[in-house]
Each structure stands twice: as structure tokens, then as C-alpha cells.
Amino acid sequence: MNPLRRLRELYAYRDLVKNLVSRDLKLRYRNSVLGFAWCLLNPLLMMVVFTVVFTVLLTNNTIEKFPVFILTGILAWNLHTTALTGAINSVVGNANLVQKVYFPREVLVIATVLSNTVNFLLSLIVLFAMVLLYQVRLTDTLIFLPLVILVQVVFTLGVAFVLSALNVFYRDVASIMETLMLAWFFMTPIFYRIEDVFPVYSRLMYILNPPASIIAAYRDILYYGSITNLDFFTRTAATSVLVFVVGYAFFVRLSRSFAERL
């Protein structure tokens, strides 16, 4: 099928994406007392944990306004990790549907990533509250925030496409990713500053690890209140688009035999 027709077909199924996203969000908080409040409480509690560890238990910390610093990192990372782990199982977990009904399979991955994105957007409320509380001086670079979010979503989608398709053929993917995500977490400047890393490594980190530069961009905007290095961010955006295109093509190619291999 040619790419243009595939995209048009995907567009025809936009209601399915919408319904799957709302199903996800509804089910996530159904049968819980606090419901939607959890998407605010969770990041807040994580922030407290990290702040206690890095400012009370370890006292050699020189990072100012640590709660805001850590929260920008945690929220972005949470989106990354929840979207990816959810997406890896999105095709396998809907095996019954994939074997019984035809629809463009990428819908499952897109819906998982988007529902986690909605969750992320809601949790930004907490971040802005902390930004106000700690009197971070926001500048007009704030208008770049939607762009950074978009780049992150595009990158996550690309990786999610590859992993979810591979997981249909080798379930080992889901298992190994549990460990790899932990390694990825430590390799990304979330609870430390990238400036504190040995320069050779920090350079590599920026080049090889898009989440590192995405988180740096979030921090520039929401923590330092400074202009993010546009030149550099453009490169990250280009990498993300590339990952997305390759990932999507890979997924579409493998998706033909999903029904047989599930």
C-alpha cells in the first residue's frame, strides 16, 4: 500500500484513536477514590521522594530550587517511560482484536502514546504550581513549550512503533526493556545536571540520547527561564522526525503479519 493511501486510511480512523484514548483515560481512574487527582498526586509524591533523597539524605547538592529542577525531569521522563511501556504491549495486548477485525494497527500505538500525553499535559498543572511557588522567572521562551512537547511525542511515537512491532515477534522485547528503561533513566540527566557530567560523555549524551536534550529544553524554558539553544534543538527535532518516519515504515511493513504471529 502506498504511504499516502495509508495515511488517508489512518485519518479515516481518527475517531478510533479518540475513542481508544478516552477509553484509556476513563479506565485508568475508574474504581479509584481520588480518580483524576492521581495524575497530579503521583508526580508530586515522586518530587518529594527525590527531593528528600537529594537534599536531605545527600547534602552535597548544589542545585537550586531542586523541587522544580527534578519535577521538570520527572514529568518528561514519565511521559517517555509510560508511553513506551504501554505501547510495547499495545498490539500484543489487543491480540483478540487484531486477529478478528481489520483496522490500521498503528492506531493502537498512537492511542497509547496520546493517552499518556494527555496525562502528561494534566500533570503540567503541578509543575506550573511549583514554578510559581519557587518564583522561577518565566520569560517569553515559554511559547516554545508546545514545540518541545511535540518533538518529544514524535520521538516517542517513533520508538514505540519499532518496539511494539518487534514485541509481536519476540516477546523478549518487553522483558529486556524493563532493564533498559532503568539504564536509560540513569543515562539521562533527570536528577543530575548535564553540566556535572564529564564533558566527553555529556556531548555523547546529547547526540545519542534525544530525551537528554529534550529534558534540557524543558529546563531551559521552565527552570532557567532562558532561551534554549535553538540550533541544537532543531537537530534534536530533525532526529525525532527521522526516528518517527523510520519507525512508522518499519511498523507498517511488519504489521501485515501481526495477525498470524499473535
Partner 1 sequence: MAAIQFENVSKRYVLHHLRPRSLQELLVSLVGRKPLALETLEDFWALRDLSFTVEPGETVGIVGHNGSGKSTILKMVAGIFSPTQGKVTVSGKVSALIELGAGFHPDLTGRENVYLFGSIMGINGKEMKRRFDGIVSFAELEQFIDEPVKHYSSGMYMRLGFATALSVDADILLIDEVLSVGDAHFQEKCLQAIEGLQQRGMTILIVSHQLDLLQRFCGRALLMEHGHLVGYGPTDSILERYEHA
Q: Which residues bind partner 1 (CB under 8 A)?
A: 12-13, 15-16, 18-20, 23, 26-27, 30, 96-103, 256-257, 259-260
Residue among 5 and 137 whose Cβ is closer to partner 1: 5
- Shortest gap between Cβ of 16 and partner 1 (angstroms)? 4
Residue among 139 and 257 whose Cβ is closer to partner 1: 257
- Shortest gap between Cβ of 18 and partner 1 (angstroms)? 7
CA–CA distance, 151 with 138 (Å, rounded to integer)? 21
Grid coordinates representing 244 are 518517527
Query: Nearest to residue 83, comparing CAs of 181, 186, 220?
Result: 181
CA–CA distance, 129 with 195 (Å, rounded to integer)? 26
- Shortest gap between Cβ of 215 and partner 1 (angstroms)? 34
Tell me the C-alpha to C-alpha distance, in Å, between residue 136 and each of 46, 133, 198, 217. 20, 8, 28, 15
- Shortest gap between Cβ of 78 and partner 1 (angstroms)? 24
- Shortest gap between Cβ of 254 and partner 1 (angstroms)? 12
Neighbours of 38 (CB within 10 A): 16
- Shortest gap between Cβ of 158 and partner 1 (angstroms)? 25
- Rounded to 5°, angle at Cα 195 from 192 and 196: 60
Those residues whose C-beta lies under 8 Å from the C-beta of residue 245, and which sit 6 or more positions away, are 158
- Rounded to 5°, angle at Cα 41 from 39 and 42: 70
Residue among 203 and 256 whose Cβ is closer to partner 1: 256
Residue spans of alpha helices (H) in 30-65:
38-51
Residue among 5 and 100 whose Cβ is closer to partner 1: 100
Inter-helix orientation angle 210-219/145-169, to 10° = 150
Residue among 30 and 137 whose Cβ is closer to partner 1: 30
Those residues whose C-beta lies under 8 Å from the C-beta of residue 183, and which sit 6 or more positions away, are none
Residue among 22 and 226 whose Cβ is closer to partner 1: 22
- Shortest gap between Cβ of 89 and partner 1 (angstroms)? 15
Residue among 91 and 130 whose Cβ is closer to partner 1: 91
